[in-house]
Chain A
Amino acid sequence: MAAPAVSPVRPAAASPEEGGRFTALRAVPPWVGGIVGVVVIVAVWWIASLTLYQGSGAIPTPPSVVGKFFDAGQWSATLNNAGGTVGSAALGYLWGNLVAIVLAVIVLLVPPLEALANQIAVVSYCIPLVAIGPVIVIVAGRDAPSGASVVLAAMSCFFTTTVGCLLGLRAAPRTSIDLIRAYGGSTWTALRKVQLFSALPSLFAALKIAAPAAFLGAILAEYLGSGGDSTLGRAVIAAQSQSDAPQLWYLALVSGIISGLGFVMVGLVAKLVTPWTTGADVPAGAR
């Protein structure tokens, strides 16, 4: 309040200089940063490929990997493989999230079940997928070629979605629920009118993370023997057995791109479904 008169002077004197520096940075559009990042990564990769592991060729040069993206034969095989993996991942994503959401809603309506639900979620999260994968492949593998891929994909997204959904359902402002109850609404009415909607931002945050997780689960199951011949996981096994480094790098890139696309797509859906989260919906007057 009663600050000495000199104190505002110093920052004011320093600010034009600093402000100028930041203005210069701010003038650069954000995508430039992204491009610079990519260029740096490719440069480091290129240098590494030319200097490290010359004997084994573990690090292929960027052109040898990127070239595969422009090879028509390679492409159709990859599309075919990716189709299988994405299909299993999508199915697992659907089931895992569905079970998770149903579980979260049940817990909200019947609070005593929470301890049990937490246990299920934590157990599903703690068991390493690589450890339980072979078991599931044996159980599901024979009759349903991609059954284990679906199960592992479902398991990978189950935990995050359960937690995200529960957090979201609880995020509903107390007052909004009080309001519904004061007007004679039931717990169910409050759930329908308030909680299901206010859960969406948190649920979508979880669903976004669940998309790459489900893909990882599916490809891992395939790597462990599930899913038949035309899958990305099987392609990785084939490339690995031939020590085909460029092919492995290429498959890793393809997997990363698919995974990222899943993340971005769920994010876009979230923006469409929950437009109110982008605005300033925090009450300005609230304490």
Chain B
Amino acid sequence: MTGTHLDRHAGSRSSTTDPRAEARAATGINIQGLEKVFSMGRRSVQALASTNLGTTQNSFLSLLGPSGCGKSTILRILAGLETPTAGTALINGRSTWEIQRDHQLGIAFQEAALLPWRTVASNIRLPLEVAGITPEPGLIDDLVSLVGLSGFEKAKPGQLSGGMRQRVAIARCLAVQPTVMLLDEPFGALDDMTRQRLNVELLRIWTERPATTLMVTHGIAEAVFLSDVVAVMSPRPGRIAEVVEIDLPRPRLPELQRTPEFHEYVDRLSEILFGRGGAPADAH
């Protein structure tokens, strides 16, 4: 891929990280001056330098970057698992607390984090139990078949493969019928083929049930394939290096990954991440 192609297709669409410019359109995720410092005794580590970021409602944002760049910190703040040192974070115009109170948040992690003593159906039901909601009849069955696990409702996590467990985790994430989805490297621990397949499925599910989504990943191709916007982050301290809008048509099919436009985005993101020296071998 050459530089001129990049400039024409992707480069010109890069957004700025200027807070005022972002704030105007930030109807989805809206992060203003977000900062996080972890203190351990006398030492303190700045995990996240002052960060601004905005997306529109029901768009898919990926945070892309090496480990330690603060991408998980942003997700954890949005999930209410960490409190920011400074700044604000809103999703769909509301605070994390309000979203949690109204049970609008779905979350999935790199580890499926299924409870081994519960069946598949019972694991999917867990967020509803925590929320004190009685599921509508058929909801759990629908979710099980949505993620392609019909017939495994009564199976225990110990009987499932890694990919199947992540499918359960995705179904569990959808149990509260969220308007906000936070995905922390949901397929990061899976082998490449399973991961490819689950990305296609995630895209299908997300298209069927739109939600303002934030995904943390270090897979470049998967970020391009799924996202409307990719924010590339860099470490020490964690900050957003560049925001790239992925202007590829939807609905996206797996074939998209073989088009030159797709590869231009992948190359462009690799360049931002690793410089012009070329993409390293471990980039997905």
Contacts and interface: CB of A to CB of B under 8 A. Distances in A.
B130 interface: yes
Of B105, B111, B116, the most chain A CB neighbours within 10 A belong to B116
B213 to A, nearest CB: 15
Interface stretch (B11-19, B85-93, B159-167): B159-167
Nearest to B76: A178
Given A183-B100, A276-B156, A276-B158, A285 B113 contact: no
Interface in A237-287: 274-277, 279-281, 283-287
A175 B79 CA distance: 12
A285 B191 contact: yes
Contact of B176 (A181, A183, A276, A287): A183
Nearest to A184: B100
Contacts of B129: 193
A13 to B, nearest CB: 34
B202 interface: no
Interface string A174-187: 01101111111100
B165 A283 contact: yes
Given A181-B81, A184-B101, A283 B112 contact: yes
A193 B158 CA distance: 18
Contacts of A189: 130
A193 B130 contact: yes
Contacts of B107: 179, 182-183
Contact of B162 (A179, A180, A285): A285
A283 B162 contact: yes
A173 interface: yes
Given A183-B176, A274-B117, A279 B79 contact: no
A179 B112 CA distance: 10
Contact of B81 (A182, A283, A284): A182
B6 to A, nearest CB: 34
A174 to B, nearest CB: 9
A182 B113 CA distance: 13
Contact of A276 (B79, B116, B127, B190): B116
A182 B165 contact: no
Contacts of A125: none
Contacts of A183: 100, 103, 105, 107, 126-127, 130-131, 176
A120 interface: no
Interface string B91-103: 0000000001101
A175 B176 contact: no
A95 interface: no
B157 interface: yes
Contacts of B182: 182
A283 B168 CA distance: 13
Contacts, number: 90
A194 interface: yes
Given A183-B105, A185-B130, A287-B189, A281 B80 contact: no
Of A184, A185, A198, the most chain B CB neighbours within 10 A belong to A184
Given A184-B130, A285-B165, A285-B191, A276 B117 contact: yes
A45 interface: no
A194 B189 CA distance: 22
A183 to B, nearest CB: 4
B109 interface: yes
B126 to A, nearest CB: 7
A193 B118 CA distance: 10
B99 to A, nearest CB: 9
Nearest to B166: A285
Contacts of B105: 182-184
Contacts of B163: 285
B115 interface: yes
Interface string A45-67: 00000000000000000000000
B218 to A, nearest CB: 13
Contacts of B116: 276-277, 279, 281
B109 A279 contact: no
A197 B156 CA distance: 15
Nearest to B195: A285
Interface string A151-172: 0000000000000000000000
Interface string B167-199: 000000000100000100000011100100000
B162 A279 contact: no
Given A184-B103, A279-B158, A175 B117 contact: no
Contacts of B158: 276, 279-281
Contact of A173 (B113, B131, B190): B113
Nearest to A285: B162
B109 A179 contact: yes
A275 B112 CA distance: 20
Contact of A279 (B76, B156, B176): B156
Nearest to A179: B113
A183 B190 CA distance: 25
11 contacts: A175-B111, A182-B80, A182-B182, A183-B100, A183-B105, A183-B127, A184-B105, A194-B115, A280-B158, A281-B158, A285-B191
Top 5 A-B residue pairs of the complex, sorted by shortest distance between their CB atoms: A285-B162, A279-B158, A175-B113, A281-B116, A184-B100
